[in-house]
Structure 1
Amino acid sequence: MNRHDLVGAPTGEPLPERVARARVLLEEAVPPQWRREPLIYVRPQHMEAVCAVTRCRREAIDHGMCNGHAQRWHRIGRPQLDVFLTTTESALRDHHILPSCLVSVCRRGRARDDLCPVHSRQWKAAKRPLIATWVTTVVVTDGPQSTCRLPNCELAAEGGSLYCRVHHRRWRARGEPTHEEFEAEVMNYGDPCWDFRRLPGQLKLELQYALKCNHELGFPPGSHSCSQAVRMLVRRGATTLLEHDRASWTAIFRSYLNDPNQFKNAAAFLSFAVEQLTDLIEGSGWKREYPRDVWQLRRLGYIPAAASRQLNFTDIQQRWLVDSAKRWLHWRLTVEEKSINTVSADLLALRRLSAFLTATGQAHYSIRQLTRPVLEQHIAWLHQQPQLGSSATIRDSISALAVFLRALQDHEDWAPDLPRNAVIYASDYPRTIPLRARGLNAHIMTQVRAHLPRWPQPDGRFLTELMLATGLRVGDACALGYDPIVRDRDDNPYVRYWNHKMRREAYVPISAAALDKIREQQTRVREQYPAETAAYLSQPAPRTLPVDALRLVPANKLNPHGLLPFKRSTYNLQLQAWVAKCGITDEAGRPAHITAHQWRHTFATTLVNRGVRLEVVKQLLDHASLEMASHYARLLDTTIRAEWDAARDSDDDLQHLLPADVEWASRSRTALPNGHCGLPRQQTCDHSNKCLTCPVFITTSEDLPAHEAHRHRTLTLIAQLEARGQTKLADQNRLVLEQLDTRIAQIKQAIATGGAHRDAS
């Protein structure tokens, strides 16, 4: 039977047969280099974290230190950690280098009193004289002795053993393993080590396979986390990971712990091992994954975020909708190359359609009955669901459904029975609420520029400087290749990047200062990844993007070759910590809320306020439409204030009392029946009628008779409307009457105090 015949998941397969099938696949999948026991790697990139003590290259376990330095720190009373890290010695006493007896010619190991057992007895028999003097008088009569077999151990082998007394005792305590195995363990004490020797053969192979997969993905687990998982499996008496699924193993693991968060990395490794083993025996790729009702995205070659690890069709009750959804989402992923987040949102919209059909007693409907009236009912149902929140969520759901129906109609063989009137019209979408501008104002940006040098991590600080200079999205900035600089024919520098949202290559010009920052970042990467940088620069520049190669800002953990981009979540954590540490506040003194995307808004808003045309802003941000660019490029308060000051043409404050009636009347643009229009000459008026609530409507004492006449006509009209039963129109005119009464009272008060009245409410 070949390997292809072994891959799959027969329905109702007994566990013993499943384990036997997995054993054959594992024997082939785990090469000999991953079966060494114990498996040891000493590169810092293979650790979760390196000990914080300078020049110590062991794995961090406790308080950022290796086990040896952590024990030393606890033993001396847990002094201030930062002082201990900078003052303690990096060297630890290795267990294969043992101190010898203080008697200079004695080659036995020390026991008590810094003497070997033989000389310790002699010293006590001599009534414990001063040791420093006594050791010089001892005469050693032992003949030639063989040396301990362990490298670097110069002590004498004792009692016919191959080892010195101490190492012989340790060898026996470990169950007298083979000499090669024992010596490898002692020599590599303290190095990152994955030890599965206590586990049965099947389980050992399963974890070795998980380590191999982790290494290939660039995420090898730390040995400390792995040892925690091994201890739990030993206590459980487990023989194979196939005994339970991923969720069950996670629950079992946590049941053994007092604080699950303390061992979350170990639980994550065990969960990963279950996933990889399941993928091995069930197969991967579209051919095997498409028929399933839960698509594991990792089996399709995607590395999604934790929130979108799978596409789950089980909540869709209608089989015809499941089949159509699978075909459409497969097309979206493979042909249209939509992102995982987009496809997940599309599936959510179809799950809502299924929930509507079930809730309204239409679950038995076929696709023939998905007509326009049913769609109208669905849209109304969406508006009645409080959990959907804003109209934007409803709009996104309707939009995804519209694209789905259009795809079924364009591909007639997908759903030939779909009614022709199953369409979504533009009028079906909720009213669009204009998005507010999110650019940071001058008060906050002044603090940002002042405190930016205090950003402790150079990678996060560089990303902030880059986004402020280019307007890149945080995901696009993190994913930049090592050398993103290109030049035009005039030798001007540009950043070349992949616009993930629009799925296309884009360029943005940069200044000489921004270019210098990029060169500094390249220097840091070259020092961290010298071999990878040399290999990158030895190849011609990529003709197309994106490219999986060395990054300009590599991830700072579990990234041995620099191929993984800096994580957006890591940047966001650094950003929030920096804002809190620097005490950045808004005008009211409250802690400022700053997100990574606001750097992009601020970049666009600054350009517009400096006179850059909106078409140019659209090109710089690589937007698809001017509408989206205009959302980013909102005018700042300073620009609006400048326009208002130009209209007022004075330095007075916004009070209702003004120096003189004539001054305001002379500044009016248009004389109205009961006032004047004060709109600036360079602007147009959107008010078709001379509305009393116009924000720039101006009145003076000369308009009092007109207001009183208007009030009389309004009272007459209200009486006529009430007599005809037109109460709605009467109520509208009562609002006008209230405005008139307010204006008349203000004008009379101004006349009585010798001032003038202006109303711009």
Structure 2
Amino acid sequence: MRSAARAPGHGAVGAGLLERLLGAVGPEFRCDTLVFAPDDPVFGAGLCRVPGCGRAGRAGYGFCSGHHGRWQKAGRPDAEAFAATTDPRWHRQQPNMACRIEECGYGSARSGMCSLHAQRWERSGRPAVESWLRAAPTVRQPAAGALCRVAHCVLWPRAAGQLCHAHDATWRANGRPEMEEFIGRFEPAAVHADQIVRLDGLPPQLKLELQYALQCRRGDRGTKTPPAVVMQVVRFLRQTAASSLLEHPEEHWRTSIGRPAPKDSNPRALLLYARRRIEDLAQAGGWEGEYGRDVWQLRRLGFEGNTALSFEPIPQPWLRSLVKRWVRWRLSAGLVLETVRRGLRSLTRFALFCHGAGVGSLAEVDRAVLERYLADLQAEMAGSQRHGDQIGQLNSFLTAIRTQAWDTTLPATAMLFGTDYPQRSERPPRALAEQVMAQIEHRENLDRFEDEAHRLATLILIRCGLRVNDALRLERDCIVLDADRAPYLRYFNHKMKREALVPIDEELQALISARQSSLGPSPLLFPRPTKNPDGLQPMSSGTYRGALYRWLERCEIRDEHGQPAHLTPHQWRHTLGTRLINRDVPQEVVRRILDHDSPQMTAHYARLHDTTIRRHWETARKIDISGTTVVLDPESALAEAAWAKQRLGRATQALPNGFCGLPVQKTCPHANACLTCPMFITTGEFLPQHREHRTQVLQIISAAEARGQTRLAEMNRQVAQNLDTIISTLQDEPVPTDRTADAS
């Protein structure tokens, strides 16, 4: 199976790699036989759920293979009850049936008797068994103290042999192996045979490489790796003539092992993982080692996953070196990886254009060349979004060369202008129709999620407008309370690389709290459900999307045309923004709730700003019904989120004479009684309404007293008293005159 193709540079790194392997592989993995405990976080599957079994529960429902088969034969009863009552011993460890004669220590052979007693019973004409057993003759016994060689067996050995009748029959059926080897199969260690990896038969360096890969797998603790999968890889490597995983490129190993994908995916993934780790060890060196290569493996530079950046398609060495420098600078500046990759793709296209146009150096990249390139882009992309992105990335590249002085031969005319970009039409937000949202938010439909985690993630996406990856990476402790005990969801905005807060309602707070109490030790709210020993890996967006689309099909969600609704989780973000704008929530508040970087990003939803409103809000004196000043601390860590909550409350819980300080979407216990409610807040701009209200209240009190309605009069006296306090406190406060600006 040896292939003629070899990985480039294998000979150059071979000697150094062996030395590094010898220094890297620890004593725990430096042996031919590796035995892993059933509860090993990476190579184990957890103990069988039968107490006292001690084997790995890999066969389903938490059972080992033996107990799983026994459970199936029993008719699949309640798993908990079966685990509590069944014999914990392995089938091989259970005692063999003894002869029915109490004094006899031989094993049962036929008719419930040992072979010697069965012979005598048959020679007696097969009389009634019960009566014959009471007077059964004695038979020849072995030497005193002789027992079957199998450790747990207490039966007498058969004739001159070393085993009881049943174990002797098993020994013969297995081809009469060496006695010590056969007996060893019944030792307690043999119970964990599915937890053993045998590396004998591999070339020395290849064995070290696999040991190093398994050691890295244990250190990563990122996924489960059953020993059976490791043995599949070992058996495959034994059949090859390779002495190192680096003898062949990754693609060779990908297509050589097992059946075509997606079958045999686990051993294939382990083999590719092993080769990558060996290659990383051989080519270690960080930026100093990686920069000179034409394919950068970003995992060697501290990035997650196995993303690579390839500069090989850029044919010009002079341009490739500049693009490398530009990409390294952008990565070092902390740009999002996808943005960097888009830039590399754009420059690769520009390089291919220059190659075809005969541009031989940077000095030849002048305005004329750029105009030809702009025409080429227009012919291919015709004003699409990708068209503008291609121009923007090239402009950023040329600007960096000029400002960083990477190459002074760049002509001064090599410039792009705003008029070079294609006109982009404003696209409306991709909000979902309310008809679709009504079906999605219907409680009965939400309850049809198979996993409560998927249901909660969906509610967070709908009500908070998070991006799906931000929602799935929420920390377990993600709820923050302000001074009013109003809840906020704290999350990390990975696109903007900052923490953000968004106000939530009490129902969502309760659901998140219930989720927190049901989780194990994971620090995440939505940990990956499988292959996640320490709970440090979040649920993938692919897993959630798959569950979402199955749920949409199961609930038969339909669009306005009666067709199955097609949506993406990101559309809920657009839907929330559109809903808020439709409720007259100012754009600046929407921006803060969605944590956009600028008002322009929110312009898909509206063209509003409320900076003037906030300035008046912060400078105005705010008091409650007792005349006490209410302070909004502008230096507080919650100031931005608290302001968004206040503005959202003004839009959704507006009052004619002030504002409600109740946390957003919290049920009000003081219906139509704001002037007796401790959550009521007002400012000097509402003094005319308060004076008019006081006049009306005094009239109500007089009329109530005249009719003898003492209770009504007493209730309104409290309102009048509060109004007197409010008016006397606010009457010296200046009232803003720029009401037009205030309402903008």
TM-score, normalised via structure 2 length:
0.70
Give the alignment partner of residue 420 of structure 1, picking from 392, 395, 412: 412
Contact 2:184–2:190 (CA under 8 A) maintained in structure 1: no
Letter aligned with residue 435 of structure 1: R
Deviation at 1:487, TM superposition (A): 2.5
Call closer, same or farther: CA 1:460–1:407 in 2, change over 3 Å.
same
Tell me: CA distance 1:482–1:598, structure 2 relative to 1, closer, same or farther (3 Å): same
Query: Which shows bigger deviation, 486-495 or 196-205?
Result: 196-205
Q: Mark the runs of 5 or more structure 2 residues left unpaired by the alignment.
A: 1-5, 609-744
Please, which of 320, 323, 326 is the counterpart of residue 321 of structure 2? 323
Distance 1:618 1:67 in 2: 56
1:354 positional shift: 1.2
- Residue 522 of structure 1 deviates from its aligned partner by 0.7
Distance 1:68 1:447, change over 3 A: farther
Distance 1:85 1:44 in 2: 27
1:60·1:66 contact (CA, 8 Å) conserved in 2? yes
C-alpha deviation, 1:468, in angstroms: 1.7
CA contact (8 A) 1:284 1:300 kept: no
For the Cα contact (< 8 Å) 1:225–1:263, is it kept in 2? no
1:34 matched residue in structure 2: 29
Aligned CA distance change for structure 1 residues 157 and 341 (closer, same or farther; 3 Å) = farther
* Conserved? CA contact 1:437–1:634, under 8 Å: no
Distance 1:628 1:150 in 2: 76
Correspondence 1:607 to 2:584: no
User: Residue 196 of structure 1 aligns to which amino acid in structure 2?
Assistant: L
- Counterpart for residue 361 of structure 1: 358
| 2:486 equivalent to 1:492 | yes
Distance 1:606 1:332 in 2: 37
Q: Would the aligned equivalents of 2:96 and 2:153 in 1 still touch at CA under 8 Å?
A: no
| Alignment partner, residue 616 of structure 2 | none
Structure 1 stretch 97-106 or stretch 140-149: which is displaced more? 140-149
Classify 1:383/1:187 alpha carbon distance in 2 versus 1 (closer, same or farther; 3 Å). Answer: same
| Matching of residue 506 in structure 1 with residue 500 in structure 2 | yes
Q: What per-residue deviation string (whole Å, max 9, x for no partner) do you get for residues 87-142 of structure 1?
A: 99556862541331332666666677776666676677677778888777474633
Q: Whole-Å Cα distance in 2 between the matches of residues 332 and 132 of structure 1?
A: 91
Matches of 1:195 and 1:312, distance apart in 2: 38
Task: Look up the equivalent residue of 2:603 and give its one-letter code.
Answer: S
Count of residues in correspondence between the two structures: 586
Residue identity in the other structure for 1:273: A
Contact map agreement 1:296 1:311 (CA 8 A) in 2: yes
Verify: 1:333 aligned to 2:337, yes or no.
no
Maintained 8 Å contact 2:95/2:152? no
**Cα pair 1:95 1:189 within 8 Å, conserved:** no
Contact 2:472 2:540 in 1 (8 A): yes
Which residue identity does 1:98 align to in structure 2?
Answer: Q
What are the superposed Cα offsets for residues 372-430 of structure 1, whole Å, 9 maximum, x if unpaired? 22122122222333xx6871112222211111222222211x22222222222112222
Q: Does the aligned pair in 1 maintain the 2:150–2:183 contact within 8 Å?
A: no
Does the CA contact (< 8 Å) of 1:54 and 1:85 recur in 2? Answer: no
Q: Residues 274-423 of structure 1: matches in 2 within 5 Å?
A: 274-304=275-305, 309-334=307-332, 336-362=333-359, 365-385=360-380, 391-412=384-405, 414-423=406-415
CA drift at 1:38: 3.4
SS in 2 for 1:261: coil
Letter matched to residue 547 of structure 2: Q
- SS of the residue 1:145 aligns to: coil
Structure 1 residues 49 and 32: CA distance shift in structure 2, 3 A: closer
Q: Is the 8 A contact 1:109 1:166 kept in 2?
A: no
| Mapped pair 1:99 → 2:103 | no
Question: Deviation at 1:236?
Answer: 3.5
The CA deviation string for residues 337-393 of structure 1, in whole angstroms up to 9 with x for no partner, is: 12222211111111111111122233xx111112122122122222333xx687111
Whether 2:267 is the aligned partner of 1:266: answer: yes
Residue 384 of structure 1 aligns with an amino acid whose one-letter code is A
Question: Matched residue of 2:28: which SS?
Answer: helix
SS in 2 for 1:187: helix
Equivalent residue, structure 1, for 2:145: 145
Q: Distance in 1 between matches of 2:322 and 2:21?
A: 37
1:329 Cα deviation (Å)? 1.2
Give the alignment of 1:234-245 within 5 angstroms: 234-236=238-240, 238-245=242-249
| Cα distance in 2 for residues equivalent to 1:129 and 1:200 | 66
Question: Is the partner of 1:496 in helix, strand or coil?
Answer: strand
Segment of structure 1 superposing worse, 375-384 or 64-73: 64-73
- 1:233 corresponds to which of 211, 232, 237: 237
The counterpart of 2:450, out of the listed 456, 466, 469, is 456
Q: Deviations over 1:5-36 (max 9, x none)?
A: xxxx998554xx85554333223222222346
Q: Following the alignment from structure 2 to structure 1, what is the Cα–Cα distance between the partners of residues 550 and 366?
A: 53
Equivalent-residue separation in structure 1 for 2:493 and 2:342 (angstroms): 20
Q: Deviations over 1:589-622 (max 9, x none)?
A: 2111121112212221221122211110001001
- Distance in 1 separating the partners of 2:278 and 2:366: 45
Alignment partners' CA distance in 2, 1:521 and 1:180 = 48
Q: Which amino acid aligns with 2:361?
A: S
Q: Give the counterpart letter for 2:515 in structure 1.
A: Q
Separation in 2, partners of 1:274, 1:570: 27
Q: Secondary structure at the match of 1:375?
A: helix
How far apart, CA to CA, are the structure 2 residues paired with 1:84 and 1:632?
57
Offset at 1:491?
A: 2.9
Specify the alignment match of 2:642 in structure 1: none
Displacement of 1:161 after TM fit? 6.0
Alignment correspondent of 2:207: 204
Partner residue in 1 for 2:726:
none
State the TM-score, normalizing by the size of structure 1. Answer: 0.68
User: Is the CA contact (8 Å cut-off) linking 1:99 and 1:109 kept in structure 2?
Assistant: no
Q: Deviations over 1:652-704 (max 9, x none)?
A: xxxxxxxxxxxxxxxxxxxxxxxxxxxxxxxxxxxxxxxxxxxxxxxxxxxxx
Is 2:595 aligned against 1:622? yes
Q: Which residue of 1 aligns with 2:435?
A: 443
SS in 2 for 1:341: helix
What secondary structure, in the 3-state scheme, does the structure 2 residue paired with 1:32 have?
coil
Match of 2:526 in 1: 553
- Note closer, same or farther for the CA distance 1:12–1:195 as it changes in structure 2 (3 Å cut): closer
Alignment partner of 1:470 is 2:464: yes
Query: Is the Cα contact below 8 Å between 2:42 and 2:224 reproduced in 1?
Result: yes
Q: Residues 66 and 96 from structure 1, CA distance in 2 versus in 1: closer, same or farther, beyond 3 angstroms?
A: closer
Over 3 Å counting, the alpha-carbon distance change for 1:522 and 1:87 in structure 2 is closer
- 2:728 counterpart residue number: none
Deviations 1:480-502 (CA, angstroms, capped at 9, x unpaired): 11202223233322122111111
How many Å apart are 1:324 and its aligned residue?
A: 1.1
Aligned-partner SS, 1:203? helix
State the 1:220 CA deviation.
3.5
Root-mean-square deviation (Å): 3.9
Partner of residue 576, structure 1: 549
Note the C-alpha offset of 1:155. 5.2
**Equivalent AA in structure 1 for residue 26 of structure 2:** P
Q: Percent identity?
A: 35
Distance between the aligned counterparts of 2:340 and 2:308, measured in 1?
A: 11
| Matched residue SS, 1:486 | strand
Conservation of the 8 A alpha-carbon contact between 1:485 and 1:496: yes
Distance 1:174 1:357 in 2: 74
Match for 1:383: what amino acid?
Q
Q: Which amino acid aligns with 1:356?
A: F
In structure 2, the CA distance between the partners of 1:281 and 1:581, relative to structure 1 (3 Å rule), is same
Q: For residues 194 and 457 of structure 1, what CA distance do their matches in structure 2 show? A: 35
Q: 1:64 to 1:178 in 2, by over 3 A?
A: closer
Deviation at 1:630, TM superposition (A): 2.9
Q: 2:219 aligns with which of 216, 230, 234?
A: 216
